[in-house]
Structure formats: C-alpha cells, structure tokens
Amino acid sequence: MRKRFFLFLIVVLTGILSFHLLTTNSTVSTWQYLEETPVSYFSNGNLYVRVDAIQGKDKKEEVVFRGFVMLVSNPRAVKVMLPEGGPGSLQKTSEMAQKAGAVAAVNGGGFFNRPLPGEPLFYPLYYTVQGGRVVTRVDRYNSEILVGLTKNGTLMGGTFANPADIKKAGIVEGVSFRPQLIENGKRLQKPGGKAHPRTAIGQKKNGSLLFVVIDGRRPGWSMGVTYYELQEIMMALGAYNAFNLDGGGSSTMVFKNRVLNKPSDTAGERPVATSWVIMDS
C-alpha cells in the first residue's frame, strides 16, 4: 500500500510540470500534462496503471499535438495479443482488449498486406512472440526491430537470426517495428523528419513501462510528432530505453474498453495485426 502511495505521489508531482523540447528544429516548443483532464487509473495488489492526457504547443502557444501517456507498474502484466482469426488477420485493438479481458491496450507492431489467391493476408513484420513462442516470422522484413519483454519484465530490442536466439535472449512477448528511440539513456534520433501519429513503448530504470500514443493528421486537433519529438517526450518521462511502434492510423490507446485517443483514419479505429494488452491477473 505504501509503495503504491509513493508511486501515485511521484506521478502527481511530475504531472504538474511542463517539459521543453530543446531544439530550434522542432515545431513543438513545449509539452505538458493536461491538469484539467481527469486522471484514469487502475490499481490492485500487483498492478498500477495510470493514464494522463498530454499536449504540445509551438512557440505561438498553439496546440500542435495531443495524446496520452500510460504508466504500467508491473511489466509482467503486459502481453502480446493476436486477432481472433490468428496470424494473417486483423482486429481492432479495442476488440482484442475486450476479448482478453484487459485493463488497457495499445496497438503493437507493423504489418503488411500479402495478397494470395482468394484472400489477402495481413502478416506482422519480422517476428511476433507470444507466451515464449515465436508465432510469426517474416525474414524479408529483417530490417525491423523485435521489441520484446523478457520473463522478468525487461524491455529489450534487436535483430535475431532465428527463434533459438530469441529464446536465448529470454524474450517471451514481442512485436516488431522501428526505430529505437533511446538506448540505455542515450538519444538515438536527431531533429528533423515529418510529424505523424505515433505510438511508443519505453521502460524506466525502476522497471515500470511507459506507453505513449500521439494523435496526428488532424488539422485543428493534432498534427502528430516526429521521431525526435517522440524521443524527447519519452526522455522527459524518464524512459531509459524506448522504441517506436506502429503509428499512423494504427495508433490507438484503450483503457477499460474505451478508445481514448482519436485515430487518424477517416473510418475510425484501424484493425491491426498485434496489440499490447495489460492484464490484471
């Protein structure tokens, strides 16, 4: 109980701060938590999940992006979820979360359309790992990064020659995309690039996980962020390691069966090939 209280106190104290993106090449000048937005959280004896709304402004104090930050205290509660139809099919992140009975969910890795006679298949890029087993593998996308969690909850990423190497690394849950944003506290992305909807996963030194989803491609609401700006947000949140996940119309955050953000596709939430789900048991 005391541990959860201090965790809550730390987040509240940091939640009133405004963070500056220190670069003249960035459209975003500052970003901050939205204090007027009610905080959503879940807590039991083994898990604490907290969601906060954030926004970024330019030098004219006009809103450039809007999004959400999710803090997950126990990384072992985070699992990979596949669509109900299995590999080769798609499903909305919210539907996967509901099927899993998850507290929360975020979209996962990238995927591609491989047309076959009769029916197109939407396969995840590179590797997908679920429950300690490689469930999909597409070698021609080996430029991607397998972003995974080990049995003890450590976030790591890399390229692997075969499933045996993944097992040796201890990854039990994982999806694939790129690029890596932060490696052992070191920034990897430079200023520049285009702003888009983004999703990222990161881990703090204390082991807790961070998920960030930024809306984009919505003039008047949120234009999105670059890789560099996403990296700076993750750094300000305290991420020691962080990776970019599938973005664009795929970027989705779900909490208690409700989609929090505004996905960019005109049709609404996009069906995806993989999702991260946060389980309470």
Is residue 273 scored above 80 in pLDDT? yes
Is residue 14 scored above 80 in pLDDT? no
HSE value, Cβ hemisphere, 13 Å, CA-based, for 120: 7
- At 131 the pLDDT is 98
HSE value, Cβ hemisphere, 13 Å, CA-based, for 170: 8
- The mean per-residue pLDDT over the stretch 170-181 comes to 98
- At 175 the pLDDT is 98
- The mean per-residue pLDDT over the stretch 61-73 comes to 97
- At 41 the pLDDT is 94
- The percentage of residues in the chain with a pLDDT greater than 70, rounded to a whole number, is 91
Is residue 12 scored above 70 in pLDDT? no
CA–CA separation, 143 and 166 (whole Å)? 16
Q: What is the DSSP letter of 196?
A: B
- At 113 the pLDDT is 84
Write the burial class of residue 265 (CB in 10 Å: 0-12 exposed, 13-18 middle, 19+ buried): middle
- At 38 the pLDDT is 67
- Taken as a whole, the chain contains a residue count of 281
pTM over 0.75: yes
Signed CA dihedral, 137, 139, 144, 148: sign only: positive
113 vs 156 pLDDT, higher one: 156
CA–CA separation, 54 and 41 (whole Å)? 15
Tell me, what amino acid is at 205?
K
- The mean per-residue pLDDT over the stretch 215-239 comes to 97
Is residue 75 helix, strand or coil? Answer: helix
Nearest to 106 by CA among 96, 116, 120: 96
Is residue 9 scored above 90 in pLDDT? no
HSE value, Cβ hemisphere, 13 Å, CA-based, for 70: 30
Per residue in 121-155, pLDDT (tens digit) is 899 999 999 999 999 999 888 889 999 999 999 99
- The percentage of residues in the chain with a pLDDT greater than 90, rounded to a whole number, is 81
Is residue 224 scored above 90 in pLDDT? yes
